[in-house]
Structure formats: structure tokens, C-alpha cells
Chain A
Amino acid sequence: MSDSMNFSNVKYFFLPTILLVSSLPLGLLANGSFALLAILLSGLSAFQTIRLLKRNGVRETEKVELDSFSCRNQIFSSVDQLSAGIAHEINNPLGIISQEIEWLRHILKKQEISSSVDRKDLDDCEDSLMEISRQVDRCNEIVQKLLSLARQVEPVIQEVEANDVVLSVLEIVNREARDFNINIVAQLDESLPPISTDPPLLRQAVLNLLVNARQAIERDGEICVSTRRTDSEFVEIEIRDNGCGISPENLNRVFTPFFSTKPEGKGSGLGLAICRGIIERLGGEITVESEFGKFTAFTIKLPVGKKKERSLFV
């Protein structure tokens, strides 16, 4: 779209420019004010055209941005509906499979007592049931994620300290990070005002980003979690890792549902889409910056809390 816009505007630029350039020798040859006027008019025309061109360009860019924003919202809304539909449809068969597994286990236990059945066959059956059960758990996990993506519940907004939320999540990942020789550094601004947010939802988003950061490093590295105030309206939480980074061609797709660079079976591609859904529902925004092979930094921007008239626990 922007290419055709530039092409169609070229003629508006060339015409007065040719006029201006051609009037220069005329102005030099002819004496009197006519030539000077011609030069001035041509100059003005060229100036005006450049202004029009710029304004037109800005409008086109705004249109492209609006189009992509509304298109993105429509896509995500459809994905949300689809996710909810799939999740509900899959949930029931999964429930039945789980119950049938339990029933088969019960039958196998009875068979164990009977000496006529081959012990090896029984063990094979048990192994097979265990594998089915594991795969059902995996499907259940995906269904939970789909429901998280689609869940349009209104957040429960409370005033909390952003640092408290960050610290509680760091506790969960600290031990596992140590096992992989990953150092987690917290640089928390102690002077932050409280934020208005849904604490469990925010914890879920931050935890997800920390898990991604750990996976990006794999082993031996550092995750830096920092909080800061940007202006009177917002605070920021940044999660930066020195892991594998994200390639430029993937960077603008990381929040797209079902997009994943992880090996098959390792990632559903829903984590970051859920994160963005959560943060946007909390009235904030999430951005990403990365250099392939060097670092990745996710920044969550959240609104500062509004003073409450009454608090239950003062």
C-alpha cells in the first residue's frame, strides 16, 4: 500500500520541480519582475507539493496502522472465540478418556489377582495406560492454555506493590534457575507507587516471561528483573535475559497465538499471546526488544494505582 502511495505522488513532485528548474534560465535571460515571479511561484509550488506529499504520507501511514490494529483485534477476537470453542469441545472427551483409564486400571488390578493372566501382558497394559494418561495430561494443559487465552473475565483490580508481585514470582523460579546455573538479579525501585492491577493475573504473566527467559538461556546465564517508574502514570517491569535472543523476522510474531520456535511438543505457542492478553486487560502494554544471539527484554507497562477512599486493612 505504501509503495503505490509513493508512486502516485511522484508526479506531484516532479511537475513543479521541472517548472522551477526550467524557469531559472528564463529568469536569468529575461529582465524584469516576470521572471522573478515565475521562479517564486515555481518554488512555492514545489514547497506546497512537498508539504502535501508529507501530509498524505502521514495519513497513509496512520491508515495502515489503524487497518493493521483493527485487523489484529479482529484476528485475536476470532482466535479467542475459536480457542474457547475448541477447549470446551476437547474438554469433554478428555474427561471421558480419563475416566476410562481409571476403569481399565481397576479391571487390571482385579486381573492381577487372577493367576491365569500373563504378568508381562499386564505390565505392558499398565505402561500403555500410563502413557495414555500422560498424553491426556498434555492435552489438558493445552486446553487450560486455550481457556486462559479466551477467558474474557473482568480483572479484579486491587492496589498492590509491583515489587511484591515480582518478588513472589522470583521465589518460584529461583530454585530451578540455580539448578541450571542461571543467576537472577532483581533491580527493584523501592520508591515505586502502588499499581492498580489484578495480582494473580500479573503473577501469571511475569512467571510466564521468567520461564521463557530461563528457557532462552538453557544454562549458565543471567536474568535481570527490574522495576522503574517512567512517568506519573505508569510503572515498568522489565525481564531481560542474555539467552539466545529472537531473530528479526520472528520478533514481530512472538505475541501471535500458536507461533513458537520451540521444538514440537515443547511449546504450544500460546504463552506470550496469553501474556499480552493479560497485560492489555490490565490496562497496560507489553513490548519486546531483542538482539539475536545476545539478549531479549520484555517490558510490561502498568498504570499507577488510584488512591482509594477506604482500605480494609490499614
Chain B
Amino acid sequence: MEKYRVLIIDDEEDFVETIVKRLRDRGLDAEGALSGPEGLQILENKDFDVIILDVKMPKMSGIETLREIKKKKPLVEVIMLTGHGSVESGIQGLQLGAFNYVMKPVPLDELLKQMNQAYERKLIEEERNH
């Protein structure tokens, strides 16, 4: 598997820690952020290929964060992840350019499959833009 860069933005600290560790074990360059603003700050200094983004977060919602991410880095692929998703936020997320909208809990292999597809899409878009 290619070592691509993944950012996980979720306010559940345990979840972020666990998933970052497990993705690193699988050979990925993974980092975590505990809020939308923190994630956006990290994005200022480093490029990522795929972002896993929680929908329901205090301070700045996942949808608001997605909007900002797409303004700053339109080519980065975002997978929305939620435990209490609504159809409305699903529609909004996809309309704003999210790659997918996935319900928690999701098995790691399934999430990886989605992430690989999202990364493949980013490579196609990058190739097209060059």
C-alpha cells in the first residue's frame, strides 16, 4: 500500500488516538486533530491526501469545517464520519464535495477501502490538473 497522508478530525480524543495508531500500523502517515479549527490550522502547514472528518463537533461543525477545507484545499478528499448522521447533513456533505458519508461504527478494513478509493480519486484529479 502506498504511504499517503491522512488527517483525522474528531472531538472524541480516544477515537482519534486509536485510529491514528492503527492507520500508522498499516503504514500510513496519519495525524489527528480534536476540532475543526485545529484541523484547519494543521492544514495550513502540511498537505494531506485524505481527511476523515467527524460531522458533529462543538465550536465548528463538520459541515462548516468541510466548507473551509474545500476552500483552502479543493483537491483533498474528505470522508465524513458520524455516529448520529442525518440525511440533511449527508446531502450537504456530498454537495459540498465530500467523497463519502460513513456511519460509525465502521470496521477499519471498510474505512481503509473507502480511504484508498478517495486517495485514488485524488491522484486522478492531480494528474488531470498537471
- State the A residues within 8 Å of B (CB): 144-145, 148, 154, 156-158, 160, 168, 171-173, 175-176, 199-200, 203-204, 207-208, 211, 312-313
Q: A156-B125, A173-B87, A176-B87 are in contact. Are A144 and B95 (CB under 8 A)?
A: yes
Closest Cβ of chain B to A116, distance in Å, is 32
- Total count of chain B residues near the partner, CB < 8 A: 27
Binds A, one of B15-23, B27-35, B100-108: B100-108
Residue in B92, B102, B117, B119 whose beta carbon sits within 8 Å of that of A199 in the complex:
B117
B117 x A207 contact (CB < 8 A) = no
Q: Flag if A148 contacts B95 (CB, 8 Å).
A: yes
B128 on the A face (CB < 8 A): yes
| In contact, A172 and B128 (Cβ under 8 angstroms) | no
Cβ–Cβ contact B94 & A207, under 8 A: yes
Q: At the interface, yes or no: B121 with Cβ under 8 Å from chain A? A: yes
**Complex partner residue of B87 from A144, A200, A203, A211, CB under 8 angstroms:** A211
Task: Please list 17 pairs of residues, one from A and one from B, whose beta carbons are closer than 8 Å in the complex, sorted by A's number.
Answer: A145-B95, A157-B124, A158-B117, A171-B103, A172-B85, A172-B90, A173-B90, A199-B99, A199-B100, A199-B117, A200-B100, A203-B94, A207-B87, A208-B91, A312-B116, A313-B1, A313-B116
Residues of A within 8 A of B97 (CB): 200
Which A residues are CB-close (under 8 A) to B99?
199-200
Tell which of B94, B98, B101, B102 has the most Cβ of chain A within 10 Å. Answer: B94
Complex Cα gap A81–B96 (Å): 20
Chain A residues with Cβ below 8 Å from B123 are 312
Number of interchain pairs (Cβ within 8 Å): 61
How far is the CB of A202 from the nearest CB of chain B, in Å?
Answer: 10
Q: Which residues of A contact B124 (CB under 8 A)?
A: 156-158
B86 interface residue per 8 A CB criterion: yes
Assess whether A154 is in contact with B100, with CB atoms less than 8 Å apart. no
Q: Which residues of B contact A176 (CB under 8 A)?
A: 86-87
User: Within 8 Å CB of A144, what residues of B?
Assistant: 92, 95-96
Which residues of the partner chain A approach B90 to less than 8 Å between Cβ atoms?
Answer: 172-173, 207
Chain B residues whose CB sits within 8 angstroms of the CB of A154 once the complex forms = 128
CB distance from B81 to the nearest CB of A (A): 12
- A contact residues around B2 at 8 Å (CB): 312
Cα-based distance from A160 to B120 in the complex (angstroms): 12
Task: Tell me the bound Cα distance from A154 to B129 in angstroms.
Answer: 11
A106 and B98 CA atoms in complex are apart in Å by 32
Interface centre among B1, B98, B100 (most CB of A within 10 A): B100
Establish whether residues B95 and A168, one from each chain, have CB atoms under 8 Å apart when the complex forms: no
Query: Bound state CA distance, A198 and B97, in angstroms?
Result: 12
Closest 7 CB pairs of A and B: A172-B90, A313-B116, A204-B94, A171-B103, A176-B87, A156-B121, A156-B124
